[in-house]
Every structure is written in C-alpha cells, then in structure tokens.
Amino acid sequence: MTKHSNNLSFETICSSEVEELRHNPSHILPIYASSSFVFEDTQHSIDVFTNQKDGHLYSRYANPTVDSVAKKLARLETFGTDIEGYCLLTNSGMSAISLVFAAFLNHGDTILTQADLYGGTTELINKVFARFGINAIYVDLTDIDVVEKALIEHNITMIYAETPANPSLRCIDLAATARIAKQHHCMTVVDNTFCTPYIQRPLALDIDVVIHSTTKSLNGHGNSIGGAVIADAKYKHQLWQSYKLIGLNPSPFEAWLLHNGMKTLTLRVSKACDNAMVVAKFLETHNKVGQVNYPGLPNHASYNIASSQMSKFGSMLSFELKGGFDAGKSLMDNVSLITLAPTLGDLDTLMLHPASSSHLNIKREIRESVGITDGLVRMSVGIEESEDLIKDLSAALNTIS
C-alpha cells in the first residue's frame, strides 16, 4: 500500500482531525462545534478534573463559544454593581427556570409567586415540580403587604417574580421585594425576559437570581430558542452542578446566534420602546379601544414603580377592544404589516389575541382571572417606522363593526 510522505495510511488521514490553520485570531467568536476538548498531558487533566484549573472537558459541562457569550450576559446583568456575576446559558427559557428550581429547591419547599406568570412556568411548577414535593402559593406580588403576610404565615424558600407581568404589564417593586425576602431568609428569583438588562437589572436591586428566555428580546431575531441564569458567582457551584448533570447546555450555534443578536440589543430595544410608546398613545385615544396596558402611560397602575426601576418602559403592551371576541378576530384578520405569532421581542411587530389562540382551551373564568378577556390583544412592538405601524393598526381597527 502506498503511503503519503507523513507516513500515515489513506484511511488514517481520512479519519484524523486536521491541524487548525488559523494564523491569526478571528474577529468574530468562532463556533466550537466539539463535544470534547483535548488535554495537554495528565497533569492538565488532573488540574481540570479537580477544578484547580478552568478548562474545557466536554461540552455538556462547558463550551468555549457558550461560555464566552454567557460571560458577556453576566457583565450586562451586573453592570453598575460590584457583583461578580456568573451566567449559565441553557437550551431554553424553560430549562433556565428548571435549573433554578433544581439547584435551589428541596422536597417540601414552598415557592411564593404570582398567578399571571408566563403560562409555561405555571405548568412547570404545577405539573412537574409539584411531583417532586415543591409547593407553590400564588398571590399578588405587586402588593408588598400581601407578600409580607405570606412570608410570615408560611415557610417560603423562594419568591419567583415576573415583572412587568403579562398581559397586565403590572410591575413588582423589586427592591422592596428583595428587602422583605432577606428579612425572612428567602431567596428571590426574577424572570427578566421582557426587559433585558438594558432596561432593568434586578441584581442591582438586591434580587438573588435572574433568569431569561433569550429566545425573546436578547436574541431579538426570532431564530433560536435559549435561556440564561445569572447570579452572584457564590452560586456558581450549586448552579453548575445541576446544569451539567441534567444536561441543560445549549448548542454552540444557538449561543452564537444569541451573541449576534445581543450586539444590537441597545439599538433594537430603544427603538422598540419608543415605538411602543407611540402605539400605546395612539391606541389610548382610539374609539374602538378600551383600556391600554403600558407602564409608560401615566395612568397605568405601575407607572411610578416602572419609572423608578426600569430605564425605559419596554416593548410589550396589551389593550382591550370594546367589541370583545369578534373585534379581536377582526383586528387580527385585517392587519397586514403586523404578524400574528405567539412569541415576543422580535424585530418585527407581533400580535396575539389570546382568546382565539393561546388561551382557546383554557376555561373563561380561569383566563379572565389573570386578565385574559375576550377582547384582549397583546402586542410585542418591533423596530419598524412607527407611522407604518399606526397606519396598519388604524386600517385594521376601522374594519371592526
């Protein structure tokens, strides 16, 4: 058999890894699509396995692409504080929430939370973690007296909050919640998906853990599913242990997409927030529209707290159509620029009529108890020119009889 000059057989050359021909560093973060990483020698392996040296072993534990993006998000969530932040990226927002519960809760523990959580989170608590002995108490977290009463009456391990909440856009006073929770030795977790660290930073307000669905505004382009957990580095071991053992890691490609999106976070989110304000003001004066829920409107119940803890009022709003279910259908069927889609935080404006979509199979009394009425429409405002959005909305609203 003929052999090449390097003395290897054809088969071995085929199956061997190549030498990386990179003469100088790449400008853009590379995608490390490798399940494992190579040890220099046995001492290196000992150092990494005993956690004496940071190293990459196996991509379920850690991956250079994923870690680089996580580090950036940790810096953003702890910006302006002296907290040493630690971030783990996960393969969805739901897995970020699961990680927090798995890392910090034990059988018999009780979570204090709100009824108007992201629907998946409520189901995760009630259908999955309940079977592992985790209890949940649902109260109005916007009322700090109610929170204090619950902390006194029950043995609460964790307060889990989402602010602004969907669809009311009501806001929870994070600094007050953190203060009262600390008095009761209770951990605080905030889902910061709607805001992103650009407009709200719960860790700076003394909240212990932040989670994200990076699928939404952090990525912003609607092309990947992902999540993140960010906390003080003192929680590093506790979080990472559950992360690597459950296997919550995202693919390096998804992390790379997230990073692409995060680069324009400030440009996208500030434009979307400006547009949301224009749209909210337009809707407020429209004769087919009743209540408009946007925390940037001075008559919104959470205007004051939103003004103090958010640097902008966000890109999410909801509104009530006076004509109920039929008006909702009419609006949805007659927009042309705005898209009907059950996500949020994308570049383009999205609308959802929960009564004819996400909440179709949920009993009226239950959905109405969390503010989902027949005529309620939720909007995630994008970065289009606002006058085009108003034209589209205006034309569609005029089709309501």
- Compute the least distance from the CB of residue 171 to ligand PLP, in Å: 14
**Residue 198 among the catalytic residues:** no
Closest to ligand PLP by CB, 211 or 283:
211
Catalytic residue among 173, 191, 208, 374: 191
- Minimal CB distance residue for ligand PLP: 93
Three-state secondary structure of the chain: CCCCCCCCCHHHHHHCCCCCCCCCCCCCCCCCCCCECCCCCHHHHHHHHCCCCCCCCECCCCCHHHHHHHHHHHHHHCCCCCCCEEEEEECCHHHHHHHHHHHHCCCCCEEEECCCCCHHHHHHHHHHHHHHCCEEEECCCCCHHHHHHHHHHCCCCEEEEECCCCCCCCCCCHHHHHHHHHHCCCEEEEECCCCHHHHCCHHHHCCCEEEEECCCCCCCCCCCCCEEEEEEHHHHHHHHHHHHHHCCCCCHHHHHHHHHHHCCHHHHHHHHHHHHHHHHHHHHCCCCEEEEECCCCCCCCCHHHHHHHCCCCCCEEEEEECCHHHHHHHHHHHCCCCEECCCCCCCCCEEECHHHCCCCCCCHHHHHHCCCCCCEEEEECCCCCHHHHHHHHHHHHCCCC
Per CB under 6 A, contacts with ligand PLP among 339-378 are 344
- Compute the least distance from the CB of residue 126 to ligand PLP, in Å: 15
Catalytic residue among 32, 86, 118, 160: 118
- Compute the least distance from the CB of residue 215 to ligand PLP, in Å: 4
**Residue 281 among the catalytic residues:** no
**Residue 294 among the catalytic residues:** no
Which x/- pattern over 85-104 shows residues binding ligand PLP (rule: CB under 6 A)? -------xxx----------
Paired strand residues for 138: 113
Cis peptide bond prior to 250, omega within 30° of 0? no
302 binds ligand PLP per the rule CB under 6 A? no
Which x/- pattern over 129-168 shows residues binding ligand PLP (rule: CB under 6 A)? ---------------------------------x------
254 binds ligand PLP per the rule CB under 6 A? no
Q: Which of 111, 225, 297, 335 binds ligand PLP (CB under 6 A)?
A: 225
Q: Is 136 left (phi over 0), alpha (psi -120 to 50) or beta?
A: beta
Q: Which of 213, 224, 242, 291 binds ligand PLP (CB under 6 A)?
A: 213
Closest to ligand PLP by CB, 157 or 166:
166
Tell me the C-alpha distance between 2 and 195, whole Å.
64
Closest to ligand PLP by CB, 65 or 193:
193
Q: Which of 67, 109, 191, 374 binds ligand PLP (CB under 6 A)?
A: 191
Closest to ligand PLP by CB, 210 or 396:
210
- Compute the least distance from the CB of residue 57 to ligand PLP, in Å: 27
- Going by C-alpha positions, the residue among 311, 316, 310, 270 that lies closest to residue 293 is 316
Tokens standing for residue 331:
């609006």
**Residue 118 among the catalytic residues:** yes
In this chain, which stretch among 27-35, 116-124, 309-317, 322-330 interacts with ligand PLP, using CB under 6 A?
Answer: 116-124
**Number of residues this chain uses to bind ligand PLP (CB under 6 A):** 15
Closest to ligand PLP by CB, 345 or 375:
345
- Compute the least distance from the CB of residue 72 to ligand PLP, in Å: 19
Q: Which of 86, 101, 118, 198 binds ligand PLP (CB under 6 A)?
A: 118
- Compute the least distance from the CB of residue 121 to ligand PLP, in Å: 6
On whether the CB atoms of residues 172 and 163 are closer than 8 A, the answer is yes
Q: Which of 98, 168, 193, 275 binds ligand PLP (CB under 6 A)?
A: 193
Provide the annotated active-site residues. 60, 118, 191, 216
Residues that bind ligand PLP (CB under 6 A): 92-94, 118, 120-121, 162, 191, 193, 213, 215-216, 225, 227, 344
